[in-house]
Each structure stands twice: as structure tokens, then as C-alpha cells.
Amino acid sequence: MTGRHARRSRVPFGAFVVVLIAVVGAAVVVAARDGSERAATGPTGAPQGSWAPPTPSGSTSAAGTEPGGASGGTTVTPTPSLSPEPKGTLVIHGTGDVSLDPSYIPAFRSNGYSWAWTGLDGLFRHDDLTVINLECPATDISAPVPKEFNFRCDPAALPVAKRYGVEVANASNNHAYDQGPGGLLDSLKQIRKVGLVPVGAGANMKDALEAAYFDLQGWRVAVVGIDEVLDPISEVAGPDKPGTAAGHDFSLTLRAIRRASANADIVVVAIHWGIELDTQPREYQVSEAHRMIDVGADVIFGHHAHRLQPLEMYRGKPIFYGLGNFVWPHMSVEGSTTGVAEAIVHPNGRITAKLLPAYIVSDGHPVLR
């Protein structure tokens, strides 16, 4: 894919800080009333999504030695010059949960699917890469699996998303399998059919873990999708089973990132993780994020909590722990307070990052602030 001219957003970062403080203070009040999903009970009695994989000080896998977290271990350095072109400024955006399900957001029936994107001032059209978390299979196949919240996006919404500048749809989440294996595979087909690129799901685990690659502004960029939230059945792919990437096997996540790092200058990870309504990441998420960066990730876009969470810079690499809702119903102030993650890769390789404040002013209509 060919990169477009990058343009910085002029939205002030200070506005987000004020908004985030308000979110943290009010989150508990609306916990009972808001949230499109509810925790199911896992095999150990913990809420699904609360599973925290062990993070030993060091372990090994077929791909090599894993780092020991923030303080040590082996660092994999991406190949420095995979593209012969001179490096330019690269602008990457990421969002939280996007629903293009007209049954969940009836406003699309009256306003059209452009309603999802017209409040963004063309932001995604003027960057180089936009990654959204598509929180439902985009398929006409209706074969709902037994669960409380079961979504299905309209494939007709996909070309509209592309027209407004979206390039990548993360399909690695706990709703990608809502219409069963046939719905998932058809969704991946529909996404590709309109020129978008899906990540994080496939016909088997090998396919699901495969990165998508883009040549942009002289950089080779890889995007990897990971799903750690199983709700309520295992939608994770197997050797011969369609599904999402990695699940609770964190060694697979690290292996996928290493592989992408060996073939790209910049590795972006879209990861579905954490606990709904949390406004701060859990300790295990911080540990996992640091380990992902230690093995080659450069930008991490997190989602699932339906609340904004902090941005951390670790070793000069941005971790957006939770990007909240984005194209979603307006259910509360806290759930509608959102943002767009922006990571800028400068020609010398330095990465700067910020959250651009946004608000879901009405169902399915986020607006930049």
C-alpha cells in the first residue's frame, strides 16, 4: 500500500488529561448500567478476561529466549533498512471498539454508515495507517453462538469505512466468532473484498497469528492482532479450527511479534485484553505490554474495557492500554468519553504519541474535541 502525506492533528493533549480525570472519578457510578458485555465465569471462577497469564522472570519458546520484563532479557532489534526508500514521517491512528451492527445502533438505518466517521474531520484520510477494533463479524451469515451479547456487522458498512480512511480491521476479539466459524471466515473475506485488511483471525492459528504488512513513507510496517478475552466459549483458533489469535498462550503472542519484527521496521500490536469498566490496566497487562515491546513491538493499541485507560511510554514506545468505545451507542458520559490513539514515527525512528480527545455525541457518532 502507498502511504499518504502525513499531517499532524492539532487537538491539544491537555484536553484529554482533563477528560480522563473525569472518567476515573465517575466510572464506578455507571458500572451497573453501562457496558455492552458482561463478564462470564471462567474455568477457575474468575471473570472471563480477568485471566492473568504467569509472567516468570524468563522462559523459552521455539522462537528463542523471552525477555525478563522491564529490567532485562533479550531485545530483538527490527531490521533497520527493509525498505530502500528514504524514511519519512509516518502517522498511525488506532481506535477502540467499533460496531457497525444496525441492530445495535439503529441510527445507521436513518443516517447511513458515514455517520460513524463524519465527526472526525477527515482525520483517517490524512494519516498513513488507521487500525480499528471491529467488534463484530461483518457477514450476512446468521448463525449466532449461545452467548448474552451477540453481534453481526453489516458488510455494506465496510466500503464506507474504507472511504473514510480505515485500512486495518482487527478481528481478534471476543465478538469476532459471534456467528460461528462460518461467520468469521466470511467476515474476513468481506473485509478483504472491499480492500481493507483483517488481522488477528484466520482459518487456523497460523493464519490468525500472521501479520499484515504495509510499505508506507519508506517504512515497512507490520500489524498483529491478539485476542486474550474468551467470552463465553473459546473462539481461539486451533491447528485446523478457525478462530482468533493466541488466546491465553502468551508465548504465541511473543512469537508472532518476533516474526513480524524480523520482517518489518515498525510493529503495531492490536490486543483485546483486560477487564470491562477498568480505567487502569491490571498488573499483568503492564507486564505483558513491556514484554511485547522487549521482543519487538513498537506501538500497542489495547481495547475491551469500554473505558479509556492511560498512555504509557516504555523504552520510547507507546502503550495505549485501553482505547474505550469508539463507534458505539451513547450509554453514559463515561462510556462515551473516548479518543483516537496517534503515534508518529519520525524519520530518525523516534516515536511520539498522544490521545486525541473525542466524544460519542449520539449513538454511533464519535466527534473529535
What are 99-139's pLDDT values in tens digits?
A: 999 999 999 999 999 999 999 999 999 999 999 999 999 99
Read off the pLDDT of each residue in 78-104 and give the average, rounded to a whole number. Answer: 86
Domain annotation covers residue 195: yes
pTM of the entire structure?
Answer: 0.80
Query: Has residue 36 got a pLDDT over 80?
Result: no
Averaged pLDDT for residues 232-243: 90
Question: Which pLDDT belongs to residue 43?
Answer: 28
**Taking the chain, what is the end-to-end CA distance rounded to the nearest angstrom?**
30
Residue 263 lies in a domain: yes
Number of domains into which the chain is organized: 1
The domain that holds 306 is classified in CATH as 3.60.21.10
Q: Which residue has the higher pLDDT, 230 or 172?
A: 172
Q: Let me know if residue 311 belongs to a domain.
A: yes
The answer to the question of residue 223 being in a domain is yes
Mean pLDDT check: name the lowest of 10-14, 288-292, 310-314: 10-14
% pLDDT > 90, the chain? 75
Residue 60 lies in a domain: no
CA distance 299 to 54: 23
Whether 204 is covered by a domain: the verdict is yes
pLDDT tens-digit series, residues 202-214 = 999 999 999 999 9
Beta strands in 212-350 (DSSP E): 212-216, 219-227, 243-244, 266-272, 299-303, 311-314, 317-320, 325-327, 337-345
Query: What's the pLDDT at 231?
Result: 76
Q: Which residues pair with 93 in a beta bridge?
A: 130, 342
4 is a domain residue? no
Residue 30's pLDDT is 37
**pLDDT category of residue 82 using cuts at 50, 70 and 90:** low
Which among 294, 297, 328 is positioned nearest to 305, based on CA atoms? 328
Domain that holds residue 134: 87-363
Residue 47 belongs to a domain: no
pLDDT of residue 83: 63
